[in-house]
């Protein structure tokens, strides 16, 4: 960890505070850095945009990818003011930054009623034992699109 890492984390924390103060959303901020430059910043915007997926990390990843015109955050570092929830963890793995720094822990978040443990618990359950009902339907028809994808010669793999 370098002084630059502390600077970028400080920025993520400031973004979190500004988002909270302006009532953009919850007290979370994130910054995407590449080659020692801030590519994008994001604060939690769930309540102001009516978007339950607008967590700071997702907002920052979307902006960074738009800025870099790519769907992969190669050689990027994500600084987030709090350890990512399962959704953001998934988004981070799909975006593939090389490293993540986090400020608060998920235990810190749970202490102010942002507890995501129930989602981790759901992941471990069998699909028919989850709180939200998941029902398989029309697999044979749906799978045909996958077969077309497999045969598609001009596909962009990722």
Interacting residues with Zn ion (CB under 5 A): 55, 85, 87-88
Do residues 106 and 82 make contact, with C-beta atoms less than 8 angstroms apart? yes
Q: Which is nearer to Zn ion, 34 or 106 (CB)?
A: 106
In the DSSP assignment, the letter for residue 99 is E
Using CA of residue 55, residue 57, residue 62, residue 66, what is the dihedral sign?
positive
Q: What 3-state class would DSSP assign to 25?
A: coil
For the CB of residue 151, give the shortest distance to Zn ion in the complex, in Å: 36
Cα–Cα distance measured from residue 56 to residue 80, given in angstroms and rounded to the nearest whole number: 8
**What is the per-residue DSSP string for 55-75?**
-HHHHHHHHHHHHHTSSS-TT
Nearest approach, Cβ of residue 82 and Zn ion (Å): 8
> Closest CB to Zn ion among 8 and 28?
28
Residue number with CB closer to Zn ion (39 or 61): 61
At 90, which helix (H) or strand (E)? helix 86-95
Q: Report, in Å, the least distance between residue 50 CB and Zn ion.
A: 16
Q: For residues 72 and 94, what is the distance between their CA atoms, to the nearest angstrom?
A: 8
Query: Considering beta carbons, is residue 120 or 149 the nearer one to Zn ion?
Result: 120
Pick the catalytic residue from 3, 57, 107, 150.
57
Question: Taking the complex as a whole, how short is the minimal distance between the CB of residue 155 and Zn ion, in angstroms?
Answer: 29
57: annotated active-site residue: yes
Token look-up 């992941």 returns 123
Please identify every residue annotated as catalytic: 57
């Amino acid at each position: 960890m370098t002084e630059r890492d502390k600077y970028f984390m400080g920025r993520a924390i400031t973004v979190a505070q500004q988002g909270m103060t302006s009532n953009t959303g919850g007290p979370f901020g994130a910054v995407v850095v590449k080659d020692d430059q801030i590519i994008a910043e994001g604060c939690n915007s769930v309540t102001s945009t009516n978007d339950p997926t607008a967590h700071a990390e997702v907002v920052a990843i979307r902006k960074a990818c738009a800025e870099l015109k790519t769907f992969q955050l190669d050689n990027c570092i994500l600084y987030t003011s709090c350890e990512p929830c399962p959704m953001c963890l998934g988004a981070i793995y799909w975006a593939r930054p090389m490293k993540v720094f986090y400020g608060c822990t998920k235990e810190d978040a749970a202490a102010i009623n942002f507890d995501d443990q129930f989602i981790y618990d759901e992941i471990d359950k069998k699909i028919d034992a989850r709180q939200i009902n998941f029902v398989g339907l029309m697999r044979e028809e749906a799978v045909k699109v996958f077969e077309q994808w497999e045969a598609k010669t001009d596909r962009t793999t990722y």
